[in-house]
Structure 1
Amino acid sequence: MIQIGDHLPEQEFTFITEAGKHSATGAELFGGKKVVIFAVPGAFTPTCSQAHLPGFVVLADQFKDKGVELYCLSVNDAFVMRAWQQAQNADAITMLADGAGHFTRALGLDKDTGDFGGLRAQRFALVAENGVVTALQVEAPGKFEVSSAEAMLALV
């Protein structure tokens, strides 16, 4: 599992904005910046849609005031992530599709949910500066405590 002080693994991400579909590498997205990447097991799932993403939506301006960019990661495709972004009014957050789970696996933060959904991300959040992890909060199974927007805002 990735640790504090490690570099984020290199990955190309796909995301969709009002301007259309985009691809960018982690270096392009995270290099020279302070970022929070929070991962959810799935778009449109209960805790993710009722608490995790909404918390970051509500506090997005406070992260921005601290010079922090927000990224939401899920093992979903870019179209699902864009639909979820629109449904949650989350335009201040870049929604990263990790469709095949390559980035999630490279972080060592994947889980297999079997027939329920297959490969998914564990619920976690991390802070990275110029691509180096400075804080990492991984939730215990079935919990939502340490990766919340409030918890992460206190760490940046």
Structure 2
Amino acid sequence: MTWTLDEAPSQAGRLAVITGASGGLGLDTARGLARKGAEVVIAARDPVKGRAAAVEVGGGELQFGTNFLGHYALTKRLLPLLRQAKARVVSISSLAHKNAHIECDDLMSDRRYSPVKAYGLSKMADLLFARELQRKSGTPDGGCCRWPRIPVWP
């Protein structure tokens, strides 16, 4: 006897906390429960893999995940080494940030999705992160961060 996810009842209104959900069976389970309407919480040892899984499973907005969350997670993990090496973090943005408005209660654009809006939001997040990194560096020259760059094409 075979069983498919299509035969499973709706999981709307249920919360599922899944350990080991950054890969393998845990990730497949998270995908299936999310597809059936459950609110899924990803528990993973590796925060970078966990965030990537959460973006994928939640149908999360991939531009925001790719353009901001991944860079944020990587920078946060490497920050002690970057400071030790006196390295700089350069954030690339675009003028699309000017039309962005951050809605904290709908950060992943679950209620109202627009690719243009999502891209602008990811670039606004890049700018805000760069600004905060600059502020926390505590040095006049920016310490670990330079102001973000916006490419200008001819």
Higher Cα radius of gyration = 2
Give the TM-score of the pair, scaled to structure 1. Answer: 0.27
Higher relative strand content: 1
TM value normalised by structure 2: 0.27
